Amino acid sequence: MTASLQLSPLKKGPREKSPPVRMLLVEDDEVDRLALLRFVERTKQNYALQIATSLAEARALLAAQSFEIVLLDQHLPDGSSVDLLDAVGTAPVIFITGAESPKLAVRAMKLGASDYLLKDPNRSYLDLLPVAVQRALRQKQTERERAQLQARLCQSQRLEALGTLAGGFAHEFNNLLGIILSNIELSKLDLPAGTEASENLSEALKAGHRARETIQRILAFSQTSAEQRQLIRMEAMVTDALQLLRATLPSTVSIETDFQLRSAKVLVNRTQVQQALANICHNAWQAMPEATGKIRVSESIIQIETGIPHVHPDLLAGRYARLSIADSGSGMDEATLARVLDPFFTTRAPLGQGLGMAMVHGIMTAHNGAVVLESEPGIGTTVHLYFPTCGELEREGEKTRKGSSSGSR
């Protein structure tokens, strides 16, 4: 589902200890190596340091594991460390050398190095190293966030284009279908009840109504109107939806809820949002092995700051109520996750129509919100729905409200 990402619930829990930064030091000089080791030990940063003294050792370590930052001495017994750049991958690289060579610095930077430090007898370059490391890590993090944001923006633009196209087709087809259904009903009036022709027309009428239901789903995907919206607390709306949903889920699926100490008010079309929640929950239980597992619905308040990369390109700066629906299902791989919001994409063909999550996307776009998914095969899927909040938040109790619903009906 980041160093500079300013996304956190207003009520903060205990801070988790961040994992160590995996660092590779490639240095053949023992004195310089010991100086770097002592320096790393004195810093307050949490580093997991691996050491190589030659190109061969460094290549073996890089092939066996990944690193988040690499420090390279220029001259090594078996060659130049510049030749190692092809094996580093995406990790930022800082060159450390005693040779004052601008040409080497330029060559290293062109080949992908993040920085270049010059050794000196007093080893004052060690004072510059923390700044260089942090700058390189921030730069790499920014590049990752930019790539993720670009991917989400492309997906959003693709879905917007599909929504416009689908909406146009659906409106046109709905008009034609209305004429067809009207003529079928008129033809039925001209036929005696119980005849074969009348029964055939009844079946055609049923199929026509099913087609109209499909059209309504497509229209919901491209929905942009703000009709029938009301200001309502998130908890009240979700609780009502889950009470209705409980009867449609297998008894082997349990539902847990976890709402914030302060429940957000959101301006929504209640029916549409409850339909989106139903689609997500039905997808969740269908992804559970033997239809057995748990669905957890939680609310958190998120503040998105201006000018800071965030989780979705369509979200403007401001305060959002995030509704998260997590399941214990089979999860999805990256290829499936990238297409799950596309209309008519389904992993349950021929049973699924592939409109459930596309409808969720359309509903959230119409509410100036967004859908963000996280999934891992074998672990489960979490769907985050972001709603802009309206007005003040209401305090409903002295502690976070939690509840659960067993499978009994």
* Predicted confidence (pLDDT) per residue in 170-201, tens digit: 777 878 888 888 888 888 888 888 888 888 89
- C-alpha–C-alpha distance, residues 344 and 350, integer Å: 11
Do 277 and 396 belong to one domain?
yes
Q: Which pLDDT tens digit goes with each residue over 271-290?
A: 888 888 988 998 888 888 88
Is there a domain that residue 68 lies in? yes
For 106-161, how does the pLDDT look when each residue is reduced to its tens digit (9 = 90+)? 777 777 777 777 777 777 777 777 788 888 888 887 777 777 666 666 666 666 66
Q: Are 136 and 92 in contact (CB under 8 A)?
A: yes
Say if residue 198 is in the same domain as residue 273.
no
Q: CATH no. for residue 48?
A: 3.40.50.2300
Q: 6-39, pLDDT tens digit by residue?
A: 233 333 344 445 678 888 888 888 887 887 787 7
4 close to 138: Cβ distance less than 8 angstroms: yes
Q: Does 295 reside within a domain?
A: yes
Same domain, 105 and 38: yes
Check if the beta carbon of residue 330 is closer than 8 Å to that of residue 288. Answer: yes
| Number of compact structural domains in the chain | 3
H helices of 76-195, where?
85-88, 102-110, 125-189
CATH of the domain at 373: 3.30.565.10
Q: Is the pLDDT of residue 400 over 60?
A: no
Instruction: Let me know if residue 256 belongs to a domain.
Output: yes
**Is 63 contained in some domain?**
yes
Residues 6+ apart with CB under 8 A from 394: 233, 262, 263, 265
Which domain does 206 fall in, by range? Answer: 151-221
Per-residue b/e over 94-128, b at no fewer than 16 CB within 10 Å?
bbbbeeeeeebbeebeeeebbbbbebeeeeebbee
Q: Are the beta carbons of 319 and 302 closer than 8 angstroms?
A: yes
For residue 303, CA distances in Å to 26, 58, 300, 326, 372 come to 42, 43, 10, 21, 16
For residues 67 and 106, which has the higher predicted lDDT (pLDDT)?
A: 67
Global pTM value: 0.50
Task: Tally Cβ neighbours within 10 Å of residue 31.
Answer: 9
Looking at 233-350, list the stretches that DSSP marks H as alpha helix, in order from N- to C-terminal side: 234-246, 270-286, 334-339
Position 94 in a domain? yes
Is residue 99 a part of any domain in this protein?
Answer: yes
> Is residue 327 scored above 90 in pLDDT?
yes
